[in-house]
Amino acid sequence: MGKVYFPQFRRGRDGVEARSETILEHARRAGVEIASDCGGQGRCLKCVISVESGGEHLCPPTDIEREAGLRDGERLACQARVDDTSGAVRVLIRSFGHYSILSDTQDVTVDLDPFVTTREGRVFVDGTPAGDRGSVVAGLAVDVGTTTLAAQAVDLETGRSLGKVTRLNPQIEHGNDIISRIGYAMDHANGAASLQSEVAEAVNGCVAEIGVASEEIYEFVFVGNSTMISALAGRELATLGVIPFEPVSKTPEYIEAKSLGLLAAPSARAYFPPLIGGHAGADCLADIIAAGMHERDETTLIIDIGTNGEVAVGNREKIMTASCAAGGAYEGATITCGIGAIDGAVSGVKITDGKVEYETIGDKPAVGICGSGLIDLLAELLRDGTMSKTARIKGDFSVCDGVSITQTDIFELITAKAGLRLDQELLMRYYGVDLDGIDTIFLAGAFGSYIDAASACAIGLLPPAPDKVVKLGNAALAGAKAMLVSRAIRATAERVAESIEHTKPNEREKDFPYLVAERMYFEEPAETPA
């Protein structure tokens, strides 16, 4: 019996048993990371591999591969299937590495008053006896992102952090966006169950990595967008994939942890905060709690740019939200040399006198360009005059050997930024406030923390007010932790969620596509029509 080897990875060097499967499927069995933004459908063309030896044991190139412009010896992992399982195949992966995932937060100051308490050596969950006290009584706050997971364990008796960990959301194998996940759940008999169990197993891995004994975890608080939370809670996903794109349930819910496959104390439970509406979920609510928007007299704007983007505007009197697909292009999904925030990703760019200077994550050799680098690059090309205000370049622009940007890439980027910017503008108009009336612009999430605010404002991804921008870090995780350690914050979050007005500008504006097109370029559009 032959094997498929992935010599770049420790876990893949010994190879995995060759089967009549694609190289992508072999990589998943080996635990090896290969970019597959489309979930192995042959659309994203990211899973490029180089066959070092054994190519004769693979099927001939498919039509998709022949049209992908691959170099000699290159294949797409999702298309290259093992035909002869008796031979050895050695595979090198073009884009690989570990994502740089943000767990840093600005903690919310709250009085410690959790639902899990101790008395006379016994543990109680919301007043119900839950066993004898061990060495620690812990809870876990988790931000379930479409691409990444961030978890923080907390000592519920002291409020002390017991550790934070981050990792990729394993569901990314089924596609990098929520629509792909919904499609996977609908198209496969056990798709929804697989999505649920994959995240549960990843959370168990987070607990083990932190080093807290699973039997000492008594409560979980999960935040995430509507699809991520619905999938983990075992709710129906189909309603999120069809008009009017609403979750089957928005109400808060407690679920027995063990029924979700979570390793924890026998009486542990998982708390799922309320969802706001549409694709704006518990993560957006957690952002609002972490920023204190619901307590402020002044009006603030929260922008969370991720695979799914959310915008919120408001103060203690009123809060409005909107959501849109924001992160695909800026996370590299549709960009020729685009990749996620992995080692070797170009993360910053400067152009001085025609000379390009760049930096990469981990100071590793450049393997592609991630979102923060793309934003800097657009801003620098615009400032340098290499790109016109109508987003035109004369030819492909090279950042460094093997990393360049094309006119098609620029079109993808300006389309993505235009939609998010329009949501910001329309939401402020619906609210009745202009940019002068916004006191602070909070950037939430990993993407917002890494980007240069001045560059983002220069290309129109953010409003033209870099001096108002404040970075919150992983505000969703901070909000989840606050709900974990405080009954009052949890009750406040539920009350706030009920009062939020969620809007869908793309449905509300009959000229929405035209308004997006107006914001694609780099001249300020006319005032948004009333």
Q: Where are the domains of the chain?
A: 3-93, 116-284, 345-405
Virtual torsion, Cα 172, 175, 179, 185, nearest 10 deg: -80
Per-residue buried b or exposed e for 261-275, using 16+ beta carbons within 10 Å of the residue's own CB:
bbbbbebbbbbbbbb
Asked if 300 and 293 count as a contact pair (C-beta separation under 8 A), the reply is yes
Residue of 426, 248, 236, 222 whose CA lies nearest to 323: 426
What lies within 8 Å, CB to CB, of 216 at 6+ separation is 134, 135, 136, 137, 138, 265
DSSP code for 259:
G
* Neighbouring residues of 281: CB distance < 8 A, sequence distance ≥ 6: 223, 224, 225, 226, 227, 228, 229, 247, 275
How confident is the prediction for the chain on average, in pLDDT?
A: 90
What would the pLDDT profile of 172-189 be if each residue is shown by its tens digit? 767 767 888 899 899 888
pLDDT tens-digit readout, 136-165:
999 999 999 988 899 999 999 999 999 999
Strand 89-93 vs strand 74-76: parallel, antiparallel, or unpaired? unpaired
* Residue 307: exposure state from Cβ atoms within 10 A (0-12, 13-18, ≥19): buried
Residue type at position 449: S
Q: Which CATH architecture has domain 3-93?
A: Roll (3.10)
pLDDT tens track of the chain, all 530 residues?
Answer: 899 998 766 567 789 999 999 999 998 888 777 777 777 888 888 888 889 899 999 999 999 999 988 878 889 999 999 999 999 999 887 655 555 554 556 677 789 999 999 999 999 999 999 989 999 999 999 999 988 899 999 999 999 999 999 888 888 767 767 888 899 899 888 899 999 999 999 999 999 999 999 999 999 999 999 999 999 999 999 999 888 899 999 999 999 999 999 999 999 999 999 999 999 999 999 999 999 999 999 999 999 987 778 999 999 999 999 988 665 677 766 788 887 777 788 999 999 988 999 999 888 888 789 889 999 999 999 999 999 999 999 999 999 988 999 999 999 999 988 988 999 999 999 999 999 999 999 999 877 778 899 999 999 999 999 999 999 989 999 999 999 999 999 999 999 999 999 999 989 999 999 999 999 998 655 555 55
The whole-model pTM stands at: 0.82
Using the structure block, give the residue that is written with the tokens 């009350």. Answer: 495
- The three state secondary structure string of 145-206 is CCCEEEEEEEECCCCCEEEEEEEECHHHHHCCCHHHHHHHHHHCCCHHHHHHHHHHHHHHHH
Domain 116-284 has CATH 3.30.420.480: yes
Of 146, 172, 229, 131, nearest to 33 (Cα)? 172
CA-CA distance, 220 to 140, in Å (whole number)? 5
